[in-house]
């Protein structure tokens, strides 16, 4: 965390924050039966936990536990390390984007959840806790901070989002450099109007599934 990010206090309570709370509550109530079913299916497939908790960087550089329905095998981390040690191509791909197009760790159910973005529904609880917004940069892990370079302070200046410019612009088909550029643009241009435009654009983006894997 840089000195500039450390000085950031709690983000202001804005119109977008009110919308975050109201919309997140409505969606959680509406989607509660589906979320319970997904949790049960994830649990049944291998007996592992239904929800995956990963430490991400949030507002002001503070860490928080980002929630998702588990889409990978229980020993995903060990399998990743083994793959990166044995496959130079996968190692290069991971070093570039922290993603793998053909990820052997993802379960059949997990693939469906990712492509439909249903795996991200638990992040609505992160939104209610004030750790995330519905709209903002994708929450990153510590290893990704270096990829932002001098723009890392910009990332830390807002709450990370469930959706954002990156998600409606191609997701994983977009290079990491472009992703950073989208995040910087969002922090500079953020407004209630932009917030609403991104939310509306997210709906067709989820159904089209470009860059979703």
- pLDDT tens digits along 183-197: 999 999 999 999 999
3-state secondary structure the chain: CCHHHHCCCCCCCCHHHHHHHHHHHHHHHHHHHHHHHHHHHHHHHHCCCCEEEEEEECHHHCEEEEEEECCECCCHHHHHHHHHHHCHHHHHHHHHHCCCCCCCCECHHHHHHHHHCHHHCCHHHHHHCCCCEEECCCCECHHHHHHHHHHHHHHHCCCCEEECCCHHHCHHHCCHHHHHHHHHHHHHHCCHHHHHHHHHHHHHHHHHCCCCC
Look-up: residue for tokens 């430490």?
55
Q: Comparing 4-8, 18-22, 32-36, 151-155, which segment has the lowest mean pLDDT?
A: 4-8
Tell me whether residue 162 is in a domain: yes
Q: For residue 200, is it within any domain?
A: yes
What's the number of domains the chain is made of? 1
Q: Which long-range contacts (CB under 8 A, 24 or more apart) does 80-84 make?
A: 80/105
**Boundaries of domain holding 188:** 3-71+106-206
Q: Is pLDDT at 1 greater than 70 in this prediction? A: no
CA 155 to chain centre: 13
pLDDT value, residue 212: 58
Is 179 inside any structural domain? yes
- Residue 39 in domain: yes
pLDDT of residue 6: 41
77 is a domain residue: no
Q: Is residue 178 part of a domain?
A: yes
Reading the block at residue 96, the tokens are 């570039």
Phi and psi angles of residue 54, each rounded to the nearest 5 degrees, phi first: -130, 140
Q: Does residue 23 sit within a domain? A: yes
Residue 59 has pLDDT above 50, yes or no: yes
pLDDT tier at 101 (50, 70, 90 boundaries)? confident
Report the chain's mean pLDDT, rounded to a whole number: 88
For the segment 161-180, the average pLDDT, to the nearest whole number, is 86
Q: With a cut of 50, say whether residue 3 has pLDDT above it.
A: no
Q: Which residues contact 48 (CB under 8 A, 6 or more apart)?
A: 42, 70, 73, 74
Instruction: Please check whether residue 16 is in contact with residue 133, taking contact to mean a CB–CB distance below 8 angstroms.
Output: yes
Residue 93 is assigned to a structural domain of this protein: no
Residue 53: pLDDT over 70: yes
Q: Is the pLDDT of residue 76 over 70?
A: yes
pTM of the model: 0.86
């Amino acid at each position: 965390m840089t000195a500039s990010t450390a000085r950031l206090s709690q983000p202001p309570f804005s119109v977008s924050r009110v919308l975050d709370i109201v919309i997140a509550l409505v969606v959680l109530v509406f989607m509660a039966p589906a979320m319970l079913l997904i949790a049960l299916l994830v649990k049944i497939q291998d007996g592992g936990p239904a929800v995956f908790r990963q430490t991400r960087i949030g507002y002001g550089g503070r860490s928080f536990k980002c929630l998702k329905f588990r889409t990978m095998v229980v020993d995903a981390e060990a399998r990743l390390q083994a793959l990166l040690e044995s496959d130079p191509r996968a190692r290069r791909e991971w070093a570039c984007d922290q993603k793998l197009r053909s990820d052997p760790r993802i379960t059949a159910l997990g693939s469906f959840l990712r492509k439909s973005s249903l795996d991200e529904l638990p992040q609505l609880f992160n939104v209610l806790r004030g750790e995330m917004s519905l709209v903002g940069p994708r929450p990153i892990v510590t290893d990704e901070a270096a990829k932002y370079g001098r723009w890392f302070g910009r990332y830390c200046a807002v709450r990370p989002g469930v959706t954002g410019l990156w998600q409606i612009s191609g997701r994983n088909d977009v290079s990491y450099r472009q992703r950073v550029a989208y995040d910087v643009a969002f922090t500079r241009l953020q407004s209630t109007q932009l917030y609403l435009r991104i939310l509306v654009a997210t709906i067709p983006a989820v159904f089209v599934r470009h860059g979703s894997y």
